[in-house]
Amino acid sequence: MGISAAMVLPIDKLETLVARANELDRLLCEPGATDDMGRYRKLTKERADLEGLVSEFAQYRAATKQLAEDKAALEDPELREMAQEEIPALEAKIAELERTMTLLLLPPEPLDEKNTILEIRGGEGGDEATLFAQDLFRMYARYAEGQKWKVEVLSLSESSVGGIKEVVALVTGDRVYSTLRFEGGVHRVQRVPETEAQGRVHTSTATVAVLPEADDVDVVIDAKDIVESVAASGGPGGQGVNTTNSAVQLLHKPTGLIVKCQDERSQHKNRAKALKVLKSKLLDLERSKQQSAIASERRSMVGAGERSEKIRTYNFPQNRVTDHRIGVTLYKLDRLINGALDELIVPLRTHYQAERLKSELGIDIGVAARRSED
């Protein structure tokens, strides 16, 4: 996916922000700056948030000055050859700096740093759907391993053929939600099941939900709104699991949400994990309400959470993956299903950033989706 360098950089806005950074430097160096630690921390954070933009803008100013000097040098026979060699690299550097600075103008999203509750369920297609759900979970687990994230299974229900009916996992690490947020939706697979004697391709689905982990300050749950029930844990795990009343189910009466956790032998631990999932679901529910209230253009953005839509197709006979939201097709299914997801995740995030720039700042950076790759 490419981003056009032909964009109008808001120089006035950038200069205003650089001036603010300089002002913050002065304020933070004043005598008594640390007398009010609350104010000091606020100013320090604001300055830190501007650091990347200030650094990039300084490089941009230097590069544009050098480019102007090189173009002027084209008129000098003694300097022309050197200038001709430098100009292409300077133009490429300026284009990249423009892109980076434009993205840095976007205000940070408060949930980007959150850990993530990842839910995967087998959908249409019977046993084959549960096997596909298992493949998806393995795909994300391997991707997480490459990112040095931790994956903790909170709840797991397996099918009779060894697939996954439902798995709920907590993924922790650096910017997990920011990276995985666009994976939520209906994933479709087209392949020949192992049980298909005639070699016919079947279509099955699995659903993926990506929820930001809720902190206690994000969601407050009244104890009287929860109905708790306890039962013996089911599924694989050995006799010790199945004979203890450790599985915990929580019903949130105001919303009707039900969460069950049975991964631990300890009822106390299962209750804590179930509560964690419930809070994340309630946070996601509140976000969905907010999203439905905003303009249709903003709502149709990538990652708006329309889980009824098929967002991606995995075609095994053709070794093809197609993301329908951005029109990207890659003939690398064998690599992607083993966790090499950046070739899909990066274009999705770029597309989303471009949509935010257009809707929030009125800047069109000309994202062009790559329709196919040979």
pLDDT digits (tens, 9 = 90+) for 291-350: 565 333 333 333 333 334 689 999 999 999 999 999 999 999 999 999 999 999 988 988
pLDDT score recorded for residue 221: 81
| pLDDT for residue 235 is more than 60 | no
Rounded Cα distance between 344 and 372, Å, is: 12
Specify the range with the lowest mean pLDDT, choosing from 102-116, 214-228, 297-311: 297-311
pLDDT digits (tens, 9 = 90+) for 253-294: 888 888 888 766 778 888 888 888 888 888 878 777 655 653
**What are 247's two structure tokens?**
């599985």
Query: Where is mean pLDDT largest: 24-33, 93-102, 354-363?
Result: 24-33
Question: Higher model confidence: residue 293 or residue 112?
Answer: 112
Note the pLDDT tens digit of each residue in 37-75: 999 999 998 898 899 899 999 999 999 999 999 999 999
C-alpha distance across the termini of the chain, in Å: 14
- pLDDT > 90? residue 199: no
pLDDT at 280: 83
* Residue 370 pLDDT level (bands cut at 50, 70, 90): very low
* One-letter amino acid of 194: E
* Residue 233: how many other CB atoms lie within 10 Å: 25
Which DSSP string do the residues of 159-196 spell out, in sequence order? Answer: -TTS-EEEEEEEEESTTHHHHHGGG-EEEEEEE--TT-
- In this prediction, residues 81-103 reach a mean pLDDT of 89
CB 303 within 8 A of CB 185: no
pLDDT of 12: 86
Give pTM, 2 decimals.
Answer: 0.65
Radius of gyration of the chain (CA): 26
Residue 231 backbone phi and psi in degrees, to 5: -145, 170
**Residue-wise pLDDT tens digits, 135-191:** 999 999 999 999 999 999 988 999 999 899 999 999 999 889 989 999 999 999 999
In which band, very low, low, confident or very high, does the pLDDT at 373 lie, cut at 50, 70 and 90?
A: very low
Helices (H), 186-305: 239-242, 267-292, 296-299
> When comparing pLDDT for 110 and 56, which is higher?
56
